[in-house]
Amino acid sequence: MPAKIIDGTKVAAEIRSEAAVIVREVAGAWGRPRLVAVMVGDASAARAYAASQRKQCDLVGIEYRLQELRAETSAVDLCGQIDALNADRAVRGIMVHLPLPAGIDPAEIQLRIDRHKDVEGVNPANIGMMFYGEPVIAPCTALAVMALLRESGVRIEGAEAVVVGHSNIAGKPVGLLLLNEMATVTVCHVATRELAGHTRRADILVVAVGKAGLIGPGMVKPGAVVIDVGINRVREVDGQGKPQERIVGDVAFEAVREVAGAISPVPGGVGAVTTAVLLRNTAEAARRQVVRMRQ
C-alpha cells in the first residue's frame, strides 16, 4: 500500500491558528507584533520567501516589514542595522534572509540578534538552550520537521532516527530535537560511508541535503516515516518537448512512496510548515517580551 502523505498545508494552517491566538492576546494590550526581515542584495529565492512571509503574517495579524539593504552593505553596517532593531521597542522579531553577500559571515550576524527577538532560533544562546533540552526558540525548519512527525503519528521515543545532512539550520537541530524526544539518532553527512546502510535502519528518516533523488526506494526501511527537507529546482522536458522547471525534494517521491509508511511531499511538506513556525515563534517571542516588560 502506498505511504500516507503527510499534509504540510494542513499542519501549517494549524500552526498559523495557534500563532493567531497568541497574536490576539498580545495585540489587545500592546499592539500587533512587528516582525522585521532584513534582506541584503536581491536573491530571487529570498524575495519569493519574503513575499510568502508577508502574506502569511497578514493572515495571523503580525505586522511584517521587509528592510532591504544594498548588496554593497558591509558587515559593520549590517551589524549597526541589527543593533538598531534590537533597541527598537516596537520590533518583536528579527530575521535575516540568506544568502548574505560574500564577505559577511552569517554566524556573526546571527550572534548579533537579540536572543529574545531571534525568531529563527539561530542565535547561539537559543541553540544552546536546545542543547540543554529546553528550547526557548528553536530553528523553524527543525520545528517544522518535528510538527510533521507528530502529524504522521509515529512514536519518536525509542525510534531509530537517521538524519541525512548536518547543516546548522536543518540537520543538526533536527538531530538534537529528536534526541531530546528520546529517539536513537544517527546523523549522516558527506563523509558518511555506506549511507544506505544507515538509512535502511531508520524508522524515522529525515533528509536535508539539497540533492534531488539522493534517497531511492532501496535506501528506505519498509513502513518508515520519511521527511524530505530538500528543495531542488530540476529542469525537465514535458510531453510536448517543452523545457520546464519543477521543484522536488531529495527523496525520489513516487518510488519511495511505495516502500515508506508515511512521507512528506515537496512542495507541500516541510517548506509549507517552516513559514508558519516562523510566525508562531514571532508570536511566542512577543508574548514573552510582554511578560518580561510587566515584571
Residues in contact with ligand NAP by the rule CB under 6 A: 141, 164-167, 169-171, 188-190, 192, 195, 208-211, 229-232, 270-271, 274
230 Rama class: left (phi>0) / alpha (psi -120 to 50) / beta = beta
The least distance separating ligand NAP from the CB of residue 162, rounded to whole angstroms, comes to 11
In the complex with ligand NAP, which residue's Cβ is closer, 26 or 276? 276
In the complex with ligand NAP, which residue's Cβ is closer, 78 or 169? 169
| Residue labelled with grid coordinates 512527525 | 149
In the complex with ligand NAP, which residue's Cβ is closer, 180 or 274? 274
The least distance separating ligand NAP from the CB of residue 69, rounded to whole angstroms, comes to 22
In the complex with ligand NAP, which residue's Cβ is closer, 53 or 180? 53
In the complex with ligand NAP, which residue's Cβ is closer, 91 or 120? 120
The least distance separating ligand NAP from the CB of residue 209, rounded to whole angstroms, comes to 4
In the complex with ligand NAP, which residue's Cβ is closer, 208 or 285? 208
Please state, in angstroms and rounded to a whole number, the distance separating the CA atoms of residues 84 and 82.
Answer: 5
The size of the chain, in residues, is: 295
The least distance separating ligand NAP from the CB of residue 166, rounded to whole angstroms, comes to 4
Backbone angles phi, psi at 145, to 5 degrees: -60, -45
Please state, in angstroms and rounded to a whole number, the distance separating the CA atoms of residues 122 and 139.
Answer: 6
The least distance separating ligand NAP from the CB of residue 112, rounded to whole angstroms, comes to 20
The least distance separating ligand NAP from the CB of residue 230, rounded to whole angstroms, comes to 4
